[in-house]
Amino acid sequence: MSSVAAAIRQHATAYLQQFGDRVPLGHRRVIDAITRCRTGELGHTVYHCDHCDREHWVGRSCGNRHCATCQADKTADWLAKQAQRLLPVQHFLVTFTVPEELRPTLRDHQQAGYDALFAAGSQTIRKLLAGRWLGTSKVGFFGVLHTWGRDPLVYHPHVHFVVPGGGVSEDGAKWLATPTNFLFPEACAAVIYRAK
């Protein structure tokens, strides 16, 4: 597929039929806006080109903050700004998800479920880094929630945390670095995460 809008146009009807009233109104509005973006359903503009002496029809954008097409410039600007703020160290991507059996419960209780997913993941990272894997709990990181995987019809909630390879010592006097190729063992993280 060539765009998020194309994927939503192809799969939204089946998705909405499958989940019905369980899809929050806010999600339905986003789907509706992105589905109609630049199709002409939201109006259009006609431009006259002095170079080719022809008129060009352009469908209006939805302007929704979730629309990848409408927000591409803002997204690029935001990413550039965030990249300037990164520490000059190795960064790691740590992902936490939930078993397939728990996904329907999470879908029915999204706020509490997503809060729990973020809390359990961040507590796991802090606990491991405070122990033998770094020696300090003064680490900074951020997480991004994804609720879908590659298949837009499969609900798959997970959080990606971006974790720098180090942190400030407990007394704040020095930087403690992890090895450049290792943050902590996945097996240790899995045990702690499941418990939380």
Q: For 61, which DSSP code?
A: P
**pLDDT beyond 70 at 140:** yes
**pLDDT beyond 60 at 1:** no
**pLDDT beyond 80 at 152:** no
Spans of all domains in the chain: 4-71, 86-195
In 3D space, the residue among 190, 175, 100 whose CA is nearest the CA of residue 139 turns out to be 175
- In b/e form, how buried is each residue of 103-138, taking b as 16+ CB within 10 angstroms? beebeeeeeebeeebbebbbebbbbbbbeebbebeb
* Residue 26: C-alpha distances to residues 31, 119, 130 (Å): 9, 24, 39
Burial class (CB in 10 A: 0-12, 13-18, 19+), 53: exposed
Q: What is the pTM assigned to this prediction? A: 0.66
Using DSSP's 3-state secondary structure scheme, residue 165 falls into coil
Question: Cα(155)–Cα(32) distance, rounded to whole angstroms?
Answer: 19
Question: Cα(66)–Cα(89) distance, rounded to whole angstroms?
Answer: 31
Q: What is the pLDDT of residue 76?
A: 85
Per the listing, tokens 């702690």 go with 192
* Summary mean pLDDT of the chain: 90
Q: Identity (one letter) of the amino acid at 107?
A: R
**pLDDT beyond 70 at 20:** yes
Per-residue pLDDT reduced to its tens digit, 49-69: 888 889 888 888 888 888 888
Q: Are the C-beta atoms of 67 and 33 separated by less than 8 Å?
A: yes
Q: What is the pLDDT of residue 72?
A: 81
Q: Are the C-beta atoms of 170 and 190 separated by less than 8 Å?
A: no
**pLDDT beyond 50 at 194:** yes
* Residue 191: C-alpha distances to residues 93, 121, 168, 182, 187 (Å): 18, 12, 25, 18, 6
Q: What is the pLDDT of residue 133?
A: 94
